[in-house]
């Protein structure tokens, strides 16, 4: 196949490697989820199952792509932050973006039934995505703060909007009613008319969701279903099993398969 007369077409490919030493953010967003959420009768303003489905997909992303260090999600969007010096796919934008979008979308479909066992998927959910590079950690923090402020503003608005609609207003009337209102007017409205203390609503709705890795040392304590037990000091000890020889033992060894179960008896 090498050096055929057709080989030249390869030269038309753009070099889309992202600049070195930049944090890479891939943000995906559901396409037409306003409609998708209506078709699948999502609870308004926040369908907890739909949010948790997004969260589970994001966890799978971190499991699949070790170079993603953090993810933040709200509504139908998720931002995935790649290690600043990742060399994954030579930092090619099109590769990172398409991997994120396709893996997430596949996960969303595969896991749908776990969250909506009683609802058939009526159409294919799909996502768009973009890549942005940030050269400083501060900018990443500002990026996340920006998304979180967006979450807060939208959620506050949507909470008012749907309470008004559920109390009998048409969507148009609710929209008119909220025109020009400030944050404190909205809090007041929720409290006075609906007896809702906005600050007491679930954090996931107000602040969005984060996925990150917990730092792990080799000498962690955990409890394994089959071999678990306390050591002589009464502390839970890591139990291990050698993958090949099926040997088992305890302590901090090189090759073990940890089980992370709740250590509290």
Question: Interface residues with Mg ion (CB under 5 A)?
Answer: 29-30, 33, 75-77
Question: Rounded to an integer, what distance in angstroms lies between the CA atom of residue 81 and that of residue 60?
Answer: 14
| 51 touches ligand ATP (CB under 6 A) | yes
| 125 touches ligand ATP (CB under 6 A) | no
**Among residues 37 and 175, whose Cβ is nearest to ligand ATP?**
37
C-beta of 154: minimal distance to ligand ATP in Å?
Answer: 8
Question: Which residue's beta carbon is nearest to the bound ligand ATP?
Answer: 34
Q: How many residues bind ligand ATP (CB under 6 A)?
A: 15
| 47 touches ligand ATP (CB under 6 A) | yes
**Among residues 60 and 237, whose Cβ is nearest to ligand ATP?**
60
C-beta atoms surrounding 228 within 10 Å: 17
Instruction: Decide which of Mg ion, ligand ATP, none touches 37; Cβ closer than 5 to 8 Å per partner kind.
Output: ligand ATP
Instruction: Decide which of ligand ATP, Mg ion, none touches 42; Cβ closer than 5 to 8 Å per partner kind.
Output: ligand ATP
Residue with tokens 């008896």: 265
- φ and ψ at 207, to 5 degrees? -120, -10
**Among residues 187 and 209, whose Cβ is nearest to ligand ATP?**
209
Instruction: Decide which of Mg ion, ligand ATP, none touches 91; Cβ closer than 5 to 8 Å per partner kind.
Output: none
| 155 touches ligand ATP (CB under 6 A) | no
Which H or E element spans position 240?
A: strand 239-241
Question: Rounded to an integer, what distance in angstroms lies between the CA atom of residue 150 and that of residue 140?
Answer: 15
| 31 touches ligand ATP (CB under 6 A) | yes
C-beta of 206: minimal distance to Mg ion in Å?
Answer: 16
Which among 2-10, 37-45, 144-152, 183-191 is the span making contact with ligand ATP, rule CB under 6 A? 37-45
Question: Rounded to an integer, what distance in angstroms lies between the CA atom of residue 134 and that of residue 22?
Answer: 5
Q: Mark 51-75 as b/e (b = at least 16 C-beta within 10 Å).
A: bebbbbbbebbbeebebbbbbbbbb
C-beta of 185: minimal distance to ligand ATP in Å?
Answer: 21
Give residue 51's Cα distance to chain centre.
9
Give the one residue of 17, 44, 95, 119 binding ligand ATP; rule: CB under 6 A. 44
| 138 touches ligand ATP (CB under 6 A) | no
- φ and ψ at 133, to 5 degrees? -105, 140
C-beta of 75: minimal distance to Mg ion in Å?
Answer: 5
Helical packing angle, 137-166 and 171-178, nearest 10°: 120
Contacts of 104 (CB under 8 A, 6+ apart): 28, 57, 58, 61, 78, 127
């Amino acid at each position: 196949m090498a050096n055929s007369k057709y080989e030249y077409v390869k030269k038309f490919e753009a070099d889309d490697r992202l600049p070195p030493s930049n944090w890479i953010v891939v943000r995906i967003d559901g396409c037409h989820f306003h409609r998708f959420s209506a078709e699948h009768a999502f609870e308004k303003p926040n369908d907890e199952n739909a949010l948790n489905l997004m969260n589970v997909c994001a966890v799978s992303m971190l499991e699949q792509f070790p170079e993603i260090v953090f993810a933040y999600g709200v509504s139908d969007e998720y931002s995935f932050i790649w290690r600043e010096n990742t060399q994954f796919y030579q930092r090619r934008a099109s590769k990172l973006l398409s991997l994120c979008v396709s893996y997430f979308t596949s996960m969303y479909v595969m896991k749908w039934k776990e969250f909506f066992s009683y609802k058939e998927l009526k159409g294919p959910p799909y996502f768009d995505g973009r890549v942005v590079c940030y050269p400083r950690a501060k900018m990443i923090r500002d990026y996340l703060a920006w998304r979180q402020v967006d979450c807060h503003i939208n959620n506050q608005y949507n909470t008012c909007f749907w309470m008004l609609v559920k109390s009998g207003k048409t969507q148009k009337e609710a929209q008119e009613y909220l025109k020009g209102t400030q944050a404190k007017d909205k809090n007041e409205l929720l409290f006075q008319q609906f007896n809702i203390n906005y600050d007491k609503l679930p954090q996931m709705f107000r602040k969005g969701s984060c996925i990150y890795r917990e730092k792990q040392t080799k000498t962690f304590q955990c409890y394994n279903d089959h071999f678990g037990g306390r050591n002589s000091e009464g502390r839970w000890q890591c139990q291990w099993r050698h993958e090949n020889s099926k040997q088992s033992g305890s302590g901090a060894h090189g090759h073990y398969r940890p089980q992370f179960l709740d250590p509290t008896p």
